[in-house]
A and B are shown apart, each in its own frame.
Chain A
Amino acid sequence: MLARVAENLYWMARYLERAEDTARLINATTMMLMDMPRGASFGWEDLLKVVGLDEAFHALYDEASETAVMSFLIQDERNPSSIFTCVRHARENTRTFREVLPRESWEWVNELYLYASTHMTQALDRRKRFEVLTEIIRRRQAVVGLLSGTMSRDEAFQFMRLGRNVERADMTTRVLDVSYAINLPYQNSQYHDLIWMSVLHALSGHQMYRRHVGVRATDHKVLAFLLNDVQFPRSVRHCLHEIQFALDELPGAEPMRRLQGMLSLVDGADFRKLATSGLHEFCDDIQARLADLNAVIGLTYFRAAHPQKMTQNLFNLT
């Protein structure tokens, strides 16, 4: 497998994952805001913090109004992580390695792009937003399903699996970290459960949580579920396992060594304690380790493609 192609596959999967995660996050937030008391301290500004783009936003916009934030997160091409930018990058990447994917993959990614380029503006309006973003999610999932059903579990597949799960684990810790901080003021209010439930919603985990853990969103149980559940595909542990399975199929020992460190960290966590203090530091630690893993993956596999520089640094984790 060519180093350049491996790198493009890895990033393509990250771009698509980020596009979908952002779409899910926006849908969940829009829904939750309707439940919150008017004048609640959580607002669009906080959503920017969740995705780590508050500074980038304010370099371009003055006020974090709903319209401005939605435009920035959904369609603004100046934002390297906007849904549209991610879809566009994923499509450009896919063009460069069409030969390693099943034939329809390119068509479906291209159609996702064509859909995004004609419908993104509609998603700025609350009335159409849910529908358009859901369609983005649906089309992205169709690509994932196609690959899952038609592609050999070769190295190309493993690089996409790596990219998808590094991105997803990052998103999960990010949402957890920031939502928790934002929710602190409501610690003992009537909104307490609602807020933890909204965290689950933002990560599309509410239904599986209810089914496998309980109806009430209890703080330490939510944490254990999102960080350490073996079965839920968006939990950090599940993502780490996926990364582990992908690395098993690839040469090189260093990425696996870094991964083991992260797994023991999650293993040793005391979630009751984290619910009262230290969650921010814990999430920070995981994110730093993910950034480190990302760099080690680059050094191990992609270095041949460009000895001097790491490309796509705009999109790096830290």
Chain B
Amino acid sequence: MKIDCGSYPLMGGYDELLEAPGKPRDGAVGLCDYFAGLPADELEARHDAVDAAIMAAGITFTVYSEAGNIDRAWPFDVVPRIIDKTEWDRIEAGLKQRLRALNRFIDDIYHEQRIVRDGVFPAEVLADSKNFREACVGANPPFGVWAHICGTDLVRDGDGTVYVLEDNLRVPSGVSYMLENRQLMKRLFPELFARYDVLPVDDYTAQLYDMLASLSPREGDRPEIAVLTPGIFNSAYFEHSYLAQQMGAHLVEGSDLVVLDDDCVYMKTIEGLTRLDVIYRRIDDDFIDPEVFRADSALGVAGLMRAWKQGKVGIANAPGAGVADDKVVYAYVPDMIRYYLGEEAILPNVPSYLCMHEADRDYVLANLDKLVVKPANESGGYGMLVGPKSTLDEQAKFAELIRDNPRNYMAQPTLSLSTVPTLCEGAIEPRHVDLRPFILQGRDLYVTHGGLTRVALRRGSLVVNSSQGGGSKDTWIVQGVC
């Protein structure tokens, strides 16, 4: 069960490691040699060691189902995905450009709405936005930045073009898996790292800390920073705890906090109340403050919005930032980049059909079997129609959904996502991947070196979400031929 470059069954699309059968790409020569030289039982043994290490480390995610919530071990594939540094530099520039524009957009939307008045962004899209928060109008977060942590999903099509698939600006998760994946690879394949200069990824938590600290309303070297989690039953609890641990921050639940009459946020400690400066919140807007949003929320803190609007606590991402995390708003990002920055988008969007436009809608309804249809506000791959893999019944159901609420749907052509060799039950086969880099913006901008490569472990599947049979790989940024 070696990786035999010659017999690897390329799928005809773009493969990230091989450009033709038997011919690795520049950055992957050494890697393919290495795996080809590894005896079959050795590869199997390492793979088993990975599984054992993941179980021991308790790297899990929760799958919600009717039968109850199950803690699953994080599925990890041992073959890394390699990206050339020169290509990465361009992607990184594109990601920074995009987040700068998105933040300008959010700040504009909660102030003058110039982009709407100038006719670049349609008022009706805003009017129907589920994630626009009236309570945020007029707020002035530090640096005019609202989305401090962004997870942007990238995909590569058959011709090698890298597209932006979506921007996750609410509470994007996955960065801890990116960091853990590298730890696992270093533990299990130390000799590979002796041959390769792979850009390190573990700077992320320090960068995250610095970004959060820059939001502190008080002067001083050690602001009190906390990660606000919905609690142990949340699917991303592992990540919340991991990030708090890596930053030396507190991990708090809503019930650990209180806002007093002075509109400051306090933590309930063993010595009484201690003021908190910055909250990295991992719960949705709807739940963060029962005074302003859902009154039945037990996860949030009453008065948090008051404290935030008066600048007495930093919150990342800022409440209301999700207004730009919408698959219809997404289609306007290239226009935003032009409008706010006077630049052309470095990274293209996937061509998108907005069902709110009649011509687009007619095209979508006529081509449901070819397109991927997505609801504007879902995440995690739920509520989607993958046309080529759908039944007629499903298509009929979606046609109705679209006619009922056109604003809520958009469609994109089915891309032939690129593949990476993946260890699948005893053989190395191509599997489709995407990539989620994480971008930070506070006083400065920062992009992770690479990101989380998610892989659809089922043959032919394009769905990479961990909740639906996806796994992940380590992602290497390397320079030149190696």
Which residues of A are at the interface with B, using a C-beta cutoff of 8 A? 1-6, 92, 95-101, 103, 106-107, 110-111, 114, 155, 250-252, 300-302, 304-306
Contact = CB atoms under 8 A, between A and B. Distances in A.
B271 A251 contact: yes
A300 B267 CA distance: 16
Contacts, number: 74
B267 A2 contact: yes
A3 B56 contact: no
Q: Which of A92, A98, A251 has the most CB of B within 10 A?
A: A98
Contact of B270 (A96, A103, A110, A250): A250
A95 B241 contact: yes
Contacts of A2: 250, 252, 256, 267-270
Contacts of B272: 304
16 contacts: A1-B270, A2-B268, A2-B270, A4-B255, A4-B268, A5-B250, A6-B270, A95-B232, A99-B227, A99-B251, A107-B56, A107-B58, A110-B56, A110-B57, A251-B270, A252-B270
B245 A103 contact: yes
A42 B303 CA distance: 62
- A contact face: mostly helix, strand, loop, or mixed: helix
Contacts of B255: 4, 305-306
B298 interface: no
Q: Name B's interface SS.
A: mixed
Contacts of A251: 270-271
Interface in B203-255: 227, 232, 237, 241-242, 244-245, 248-253, 255
Contacts of B249: 99
Contact of B269 (A1, A96, A97, A107): A1
A50 to B, nearest CB: 34
Interface of B: 55-58, 227, 232, 237, 241-242, 244-245, 248-253, 255-256, 267-273
Nearest to A159: B270
B231 to A, nearest CB: 9
A111 B56 contact: yes
B244 A3 contact: no
Given A99-B250, A107-B56, A304 B232 contact: no
Closest 9 CB pairs of A and B: A304-B268, A99-B244, A99-B245, A301-B270, A110-B58, A98-B241, A99-B251, A6-B270, A251-B271
A4 B245 contact: no
Contacts of A114: 55-56
B58 A106 contact: yes
Contact of A3 (B55, B227, B237, B270): B270
A107 B268 contact: no
Nearest to A302: B270
A3 B268 contact: yes
A103 B205 CA distance: 14
Nearest to A158: B270
A285 to B, nearest CB: 29
Contacts of A107: 56-58
Residue among B58, B248, B270 having the largest count of chain A Cβ atoms under 10 Å: B270
B242 A98 contact: yes
A99 B241 CA distance: 6
B253 A98 contact: no
A99 B205 CA distance: 13
Given A3-B268, A92-B232, 12 more contacts: A1-B269, A2-B252, A2-B256, A2-B268, A2-B269, A96-B241, A106-B57, A110-B58, A114-B55, A114-B56, A304-B269, A305-B256
A4 B269 CA distance: 8
Nearest to B258: A304
Nearest to A301: B270
A97 B270 contact: no
A4 B57 contact: no
Contacts of A300: 270
Contacts of A301: 270
A110 B252 CA distance: 22
A87 to B, nearest CB: 14
Contacts of B273: 304
Of B237, B249, B252, B271, most A-chain CB atoms within 10 Å: B271
